[in-house]
């Protein structure tokens, strides 16, 4: 039991690379993708561009792209090992402003989808003939 506590304390004091932490916290599927995102400047550490080898500290703020949105998270725990999703979510906390901004963007995208509908599939033969007839008028 004491070796487990020693291992946990050693793990919390050890430094973790930024790309490794992003991979362990499940923001990227592979460490190579995390490294590429950090190198290209898409991930910012404490408001600045950094290298993949940057040592992550508890309490740091990291901005990470997620699809159309950007997540701003605060580091709560360090880990080099990739664990299950519930454990990985305990490693960080998303800021309230980031959550509000993501929800606002999602509602705007949903509203835009109502005004700009997309077809459900390819037109069939009759619909294609109608489209061609309409274009040639």
Question: Residue 9 has what pLDDT?
Answer: 43
DSSP 40-75: TT-SEETTEE--TTPEE-TT-EEEEEETTEEEEEEE
Question: Residue 15 has what pLDDT?
Answer: 87
Residues with Cβ within 8 Å of 88's Cβ and at least 6 positions away in sequence, in order, are 24, 25, 26, 82
Question: For residue range 66-82, what is the model confidence (pLDDT) as tens digits?
Answer: 988 999 999 999 999 99
Q: How many other β-carbons are positioned within 10 Å of the β-carbon of residue 125?
A: 7
**Long-range contacts, 104-113 (Cβ 8 Å, 24+):** 105/68, 105/69, 106/69, 109/68
Region for residue 66 given its phi and psi (left: phi exceeds 0; alpha: psi -120 to 50; beta: otherwise):
beta
Question: Residue 110 has what pLDDT?
Answer: 87
Q: What CATH superfamily is the domain 2-116?
A: RNA-binding S4 domain (3.10.290.10)
**13, two tokens:** 């004091």
Question: Residue 13 has what pLDDT?
Answer: 52
Question: For residue range 38-61, what is the model confidence (pLDDT) as tens digits?
Answer: 999 999 999 999 999 999 999 999
DSSP 86-108: HHHHTTEEE-HHHHHHHHHHHHH
Question: Which pTM value belongs to this model?
Answer: 0.73
Position 6 pLDDT exceeds 60:
no
Q: 25 pLDDT band (50/70/90 cuts)? A: very high
DSSP 6-31: HHHHHHHHS-EEHHHHHHHTTSSSSH
Question: Residue 115 has what pLDDT?
Answer: 77
């Amino acid at each position: 039991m004491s070796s487990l506590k020693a291992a946990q304390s050693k793990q919390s004091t050890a430094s973790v690379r930024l790309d490794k932490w992003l991979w362990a916290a499940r923001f990227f599927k592979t460490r190579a993708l995390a490294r590429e995102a950090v190198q290209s400047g898409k991930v910012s550490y404490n408001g600045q561009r950094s290298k993949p080898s940057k040592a992550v500290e508890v309490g740091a703020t990291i901005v990470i792209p997620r699809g159309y949105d950007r997540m701003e998270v605060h580091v709560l725990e360090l880990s080099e090992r990739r664990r299950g999703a519930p454990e990985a979510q305990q490693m960080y906390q998303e800021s309230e402003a980031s959550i509000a901004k993501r929800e606002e963007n999602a509602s705007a995208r949903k509203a835009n989808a109502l005004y700009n509908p997309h077809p459900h599939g390819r037109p069939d033969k009759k619909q294609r003939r109608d489209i061609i007839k309409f274009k040639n008028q």
